Amino acid sequence: MSGFGAISGNFLREQIRAPLNLVLLVAIPAFFVLIFASVLGEFAEALGGDLARQSATAISAGWAAAFLCGALSYFQVSSSREADRRLALAGLGPRRVATGRIAASLALGVVVSVVAYLTLWLRSGVAHPLHVAAAIFIFAAIYIGVGALIGTLVRGPLEGSLLVVLVFSLDVFSGPAMTSSGGFGNFTPTNHAANLLIAGGGGQGSPTSDWIGGAAIAFGGLLVALVAFFLSARGRG
């Protein structure tokens, strides 16, 4: 267990070795929630969504967590591919490298989610704290999987970043926050998470189906990320 802790700790330190990375990981979700929360209600109304102001504030926290974790996870896979292979060949094995990476991703996902949640709470108050906190983390977990999957498939950093942006845009524009028409939006990765966060932000409960759906997709996202890290670390031949 101490070996696992050491590996995960090193992977975590790798991401925050540049102090500015840590500053941005904390500052951006905070500023994102503060700035976008005030305009998202108007924006959603313009796009035909039926988002109440409190819910618009809450959804901004989910989106911040999603994009930041998606980009983070993508660069974890794409930037560390060769180093992880060497670590695995040197004796760690791909399984331990993968579990170390997922632990580091989860830790950073928690940091981003906590900052977004705290900003939300300080700015607007949160009627259902655990509900909202869980929903924000579900966004983060799903996009850890999205970023890792893209990192496995796409090597070029510009291409990978653009693909993360494209998936995020598809998700946001089709989700329940931005449109009330359903359709394709019912199949976006964060559909259930968005419903959870909109309800929680509005001080309402959520149906069990949204909880089960959100949890299942978050678990699936983390599983995809674990497999992606494993495949990335597995040596050739």
Partner 1 sequence: MALRDQLRRPLLLILLVVVPAYVVTRSIATTEATPRLIELPDGSVIATTMRELHGAIMAGMTIGFVAALVGVFVMQSALLGDRRLVLAGYRPFEAITARLLVLISLTALVVAVSALVTAAHFTPMLWPTFLLSLVLIGLIYASIGALAGAVLDKLAATYLIFFLALTDLGVVQNPMFGDGAPADWAVILPGYGPSRLMVGAAFSPTLHPFDDLVLSLAWVLILGGGAFLVLRRSIGRQG
Q: Which residues bind partner 1 (CB under 8 A)?
A: 15, 18, 20-21, 24-25, 28, 31-32, 35-36, 39, 42-43, 45-48, 67-68, 71-72, 75, 79, 154, 156-159, 161-163, 165-166, 169-170, 173-174, 178-179
Nearer to partner 1, 34 or 103 (CB): 34
| Alpha-carbon span 106 to 141, nearest angstrom | 7
Among residues 71, 135, 130, which one has the least CA distance to residue 105?
A: 71
Nearer to partner 1, 30 or 92 (CB): 30
Nearer to partner 1, 28 or 127 (CB): 28
| Alpha-carbon span 64 to 216, nearest angstrom | 21
Nearer to partner 1, 161 or 195 (CB): 161
Could you tell me which residues come within 8 angstroms of residue 113 by beta carbon, excluding any fewer than 6 positions away? 65, 133, 136, 137, 139, 140
Task: Report in angstroms how near the CB of residue 74 gets to partner 1 at its nearest.
Answer: 9
Task: Report in angstroms how near the CB of residue 202 gets to partner 1 at its nearest.
Answer: 21
| Alpha-carbon span 119 to 174, nearest angstrom | 25
Residue 54 is encoded by which pair of tokens? 């409190």
Please check whether residue 205 is in contact with residue 77, taking contact to mean a CB–CB distance below 8 angstroms. Answer: no
Task: Report in angstroms how near the CB of residue 18 gets to partner 1 at its nearest.
Answer: 6
How many residues in the chain?
237
| Alpha-carbon span 11 to 141, nearest angstrom | 18
Residue 166 is encoded by which pair of tokens? 């494209």
Task: Report in angstroms how near the CB of residue 214 gets to partner 1 at its nearest.
Answer: 23
| Alpha-carbon span 148 to 160, nearest angstrom | 10
Task: Report in angstroms how near the CB of residue 218 gets to partner 1 at its nearest.
Answer: 22
Task: Report in angstroms how near the CB of residue 15 gets to partner 1 at its nearest.
Answer: 7
Nearer to partner 1, 21 or 124 (CB): 21
Nearer to partner 1, 14 or 93 (CB): 14
Angle at 174 between CA 158 and CA 42, to 5 degrees: 100
Nearer to partner 1, 44 or 226 (CB): 44
| Alpha-carbon span 67 to 205, nearest angstrom | 25
Task: Report in angstroms how near the CB of residue 45 gets to partner 1 at its nearest.
Answer: 7
